[in-house]
Amino acid sequence: MKRVGFMMKVKQELIDEYKEHHRNVWPEMKEALSACGWKNYSLFLLPDGRMFGYFETPESLQAAIACMEETEVNGRWQAMMSPYFELPEGARPDQTMMEIEEVFHID
């Protein structure tokens, strides 16, 4: 199992709305994430909008994202979430996850 950490940036003025969407993640989105191997998935958000994400997956961040790209629900979710992130023009949030190297883990 690979542990994946990643960083992103939520627009500070939209943090409350962003958090509300994540209190009500669509059941079909949760099902797709689970089916694509996103286990123990968590998001952490600082007041300035910097976000850290963590999940465990059988292979890699790239493989987990590729699996999600094959689902219809992911396209809808990414389109809805795009306005909340500081992204390059035309990019989706799942295309800009900056993976963080794991340098230590203790069981």
The residues that are catalytic are 22
Secondary element (H or E) of residue 1: none
Cβ pair 41, 96 in contact under 8 A:
no
Q: Check residue 70 and report its DSSP letter.
A: T
Assess contact for 38 and 30: CB atoms under 8 A: no
Q: How far is CA 95 from CA 20, 24, 34, in A?
A: 22, 22, 19
Q: Which residues pair with 56 in a beta bridge?
A: 3, 39
